[in-house]
Amino acid sequence: MTRDSDAPTRSVRMEDLVALCARRGFIFPASEVYGGINGFWDYGPLGVELKNNLKARWWQRVVRERDDVEGIDSSIICHPRTWEASGHVEHFSDPMVDCRACKKRFRADQLDDVGACKEGGAHDFTEARNFNLMLKTFIGASEDAASVAYLRAETCQSIFTDFRRVREVARQKLPFGIGQIGKAFRNEINPRNFTFRSREFEQAELEFFVAPADREEWFRYWMDERFAFHRELGLASDRLRLRDHEPDELAHYAKAAADIEYRFPFGWQEIEGIHDRGDWDLSRHTEYAGKDLSYVDDQTKEKFVPMVIETSVGIDRTSLALLCDAYDEEEVEGGDRRTVLRFHPSIAPIKAAVLPLSKKIAEPAERLARDLRRRMNAFFDVSGNIGRRYRRQDEAGTPFCVTYDFESESDGQVTVRERDSMRQDRIPIEGVAVWLQERIEA
Ligand code: GAP
């Protein structure tokens, strides 16, 4: 029912999208009453539903549907040695320069768009110095070096440190994976492009452990699998691509890597990374923790450190891609314009809105909405004229509006309006839930 995601698409202006997100309560600045806090965002009633739908879909596809993947939910704060072993203490930094005149700090590799110096004249930059991007905190009563800890910079490190326990309790053999969804924190110097580069964000990561001989095959497998996932979300084919990393782009742990990129209004950008991490992580944690994280093949009795293929998707970045992709404006009958979010029904925050034509028939319509709510996120709206109510649902991306009118009482039917085509079908009330479910899951 949604627009053909292979059809050529037009681009949204970021300012229009940001305004819609705030107006309709998808996403707005965190601590807004204090003027916001740079790099932090809150998701409102519609935003949290969108994000939860995306996470549920990832969990379903990557964890639940597979018997070779287990899920975990680990703590955000890990033992500080974790980040020494992972290389983050040593390598996870950006080169920074300070301006001696205006005292502002900039990324040394992004000086082209820093603008003029507030003190007038040109910036007077210091030499570049490395600035670690991990967010620090202290554990316990004292704030000394011994009590330093970090908010995790990626969710995957606990997957490595939990590898042995999870493999044993789940009685898994190679190849198998461990997935988790959770918050990550990075002290980004220059948060920008709305939620695209934030200081607090969510990742959904899978670490898939394989025998050394199988790593290339599994790297290709997960690349294809993950690309298909984004297409199934409805992201347009002309805005999605896979890009292999050049050797000089590889992270310190990666042997090979590819990005799934989306064409945002501000250009092609990564939404997911697929990395061949080799045996870097398990070997390093073996060394730093002094615990053996190797694997013994029970057929060949060969002992080795498994190789890791990682898929790491940003939930916030993908939510932003879904919003950009869904946004459309069009002229409708009577010269009116409407803004419409053309989400795939399976990820739309609200699946159906029940709209009684008059307050006089609100009660049976509300009964229908209550019934639908047991199976899907349904919304009930009795206020305003029907055209205005349709527009509100178009802006929320609701794929179906169910109108309860005066005939509904006598013929036991309602009118279902489809968001994109605005086509209307008259269907029996008792069949509405199944009718909707079939289309949402299609
Ligand atoms: N464990 C590997 C890892 O963390 P990454 O490429 O640094 O790799 C993976 O991050 C994904 O996390 C990215 O593709 C992106 O979607 C998301 N991500 C990373 N930094 C982010 C930020 N500052 N704001 C929002 N999302 C971010």
DSSP structure string for 173-237 = -SSEEEEEEEEEE---SS-BTTTTB-SEEEEEEEEEEE-GGGHHHHHHHHHHHHHHHHHHTT--G
Ligand 1 binding pocket includes 203 (Cβ within 6 Å): yes
Counting beta carbons within 10 angstroms of the beta carbon of residue 293, is it exposed (0 to 12), middle (13 to 18) or buried (19 or more)?
Answer: buried
The CA-CA-CA angle for residues 199, 204, 206, to 5°, reads 130
| Tens-digit pLDDT profile for residues 123-168 | 999 999 888 999 999 999 989 988 999 999 999 999 999 999 999 9
The whole-angstrom separation of Cα 323 and Cα 353 is 20
Instruction: Using pLDDT thresholds of 50, 70 and 90, give the confidence band for residue 7.
Output: low
The whole-angstrom separation of Cα 435 and Cα 437 is 6
Q: How many angstroms is it from 270 CA to the middle of ligand 1?
A: 8
The whole-angstrom separation of Cα 353 and Cα 239 is 30
- Measured from the Cα of 275, ligand 1's closest atom is 2
Residue 250 scores a pLDDT above 90:
no
Nearest CA to ligand 1 atom 27: 314
Helices marked H in 24-68: 45-58
Q: At what angle do helices 45-58 and 315-326 cross, to 10 degrees?
A: 110
Q: For residue 2, what pLDDT is reported?
A: 42
Q: Which helix (H) or strand (E) holds 110?
A: none
Instruction: Using pLDDT thresholds of 50, 70 and 90, give the confidence band for residue 11.
Output: confident
- Measured from the Cα of 201, ligand 1's closest atom is 25
| Tens-digit pLDDT profile for residues 172-199 | 999 999 999 999 999 998 899 999 999 9
Ligand 1 binding pocket includes 88 (Cβ within 6 Å): no
Share of the chain above pLDDT 90, in %: 83
Ligand 1 binding pocket includes 286 (Cβ within 6 Å): no
The whole-angstrom separation of Cα 274 and Cα 256 is 8
Residue in 154, 245, 318, 322 to alter for ligand 1 test, most ligand atoms within 8 A of Cβ: 154
CA distances from 363 to 220, 312, 368, 376 (A): 55, 47, 9, 20
Contacts of residue 304, defined as CB under 8 A and 6 or more positions apart, other chains included, come to: 211, 212, 294, 295, 297
Contacts of residue 8, defined as CB under 8 A and 6 or more positions apart, other chains included, come to: 238
Instruction: Using pLDDT thresholds of 50, 70 and 90, give the confidence band for residue 5.
Output: low
Ligand 1 binding pocket includes 197 (Cβ within 6 Å): yes
In three state form, how does the secondary structure of 115-174 look?
CCCCCCCCCCECCCEEEECCEEEECCCCCCHHHEEEECCCCHHHHHHCHHHHHHHHCCCC
Q: Taking the CB of residue 24, how many other CB atoms lie within 10 A of it?
A: 20
The CA-CA-CA angle for residues 201, 206, 211, to 5°, reads 150
Ligand 1 binding pocket includes 316 (Cβ within 6 Å): yes
Could you tell me if 219 and 207 are in contact, meaning their C-beta atoms sit under 8 angstroms apart? Answer: no
Across residues 5-33, what is the average pLDDT? 88
Helices marked H in 337-421: 362-373, 386-396, 406-411
Instruction: Using pLDDT thresholds of 50, 70 and 90, give the confidence band for residue 104.
Output: confident
Residue in 78, 270, 313 to alter for ligand 1 test, most ligand atoms within 8 A of Cβ: 270
